[in-house]
Amino acid sequence: MSVVDPVVETDEQAGGGRKKKLLIGLIVVVLAAAAGWWFMLRPAKADAAPEPGVVVKLEPIQINLAAGHYLRAGIALQASKDASTELDGSKALDATIDLFSGQRIEDLARKAYRNKMKHRLETELDTAYDGEVIGVYFTDFVTQ
């Protein structure tokens, strides 16, 4: 019969201790990496959509299209709540003329194309008005 000294570790016990230390070390590294990503690299939350303010309706204008046709377009600007008290519509009318001039009447007759053009107009007006205009509505849209 042999007596095992409780203080002396066997090879099996020493190997198990190393595995535990390695596992704990790996968990610490993974948690540190996750915390680093969470606090430093994760994407910022998207800014909240601006609150709508007043709607500024502009007088309709006539725009020359391709092949001798024309478009009578009326627009209204959806201002943000933080917009200045009076929006000057001249930038919006100029952008509308630039965007729609020379377009084909067949293209403008398609709803999907009109929506695409409206989105482009909204993007241009967002830039022109430094974020004070957050939407555009067609109040008049007649082609001939």
pLDDT at position 4, please? Answer: 55
Reported CATH class of domain 52-143: alpha beta
Give the strand pairing for 52-57 and 133-143.
unpaired
Identify which of 103, 98, 86, 87 has the alpha carbon closest to the alpha carbon of residue 123.
98
Phi first, then psi, for residue 112 (nearest 5°) are -65, -40
| Span 17-28, average pLDDT | 89
Quick one: pLDDT band at residue 102, thresholds 50, 70, 90? very high
Measured CA to CA, the distance from residue 67 to residue 70 in angstroms comes to 9
Identify which of 19, 76, 78 has the alpha carbon closest to the alpha carbon of residue 52.
78
Domain range list for the chain: 1-42, 52-143
pLDDT at position 141, please? Answer: 96
Write the pLDDT tens digit of every residue in 121-136. 999 999 999 989 999 9
55 or 5, higher pLDDT = 55
What residue type is assigned to position 132 of the chain?
Answer: E
What residue type is assigned to position 35 of the chain?
Answer: A
pLDDT at position 123, please? Answer: 95
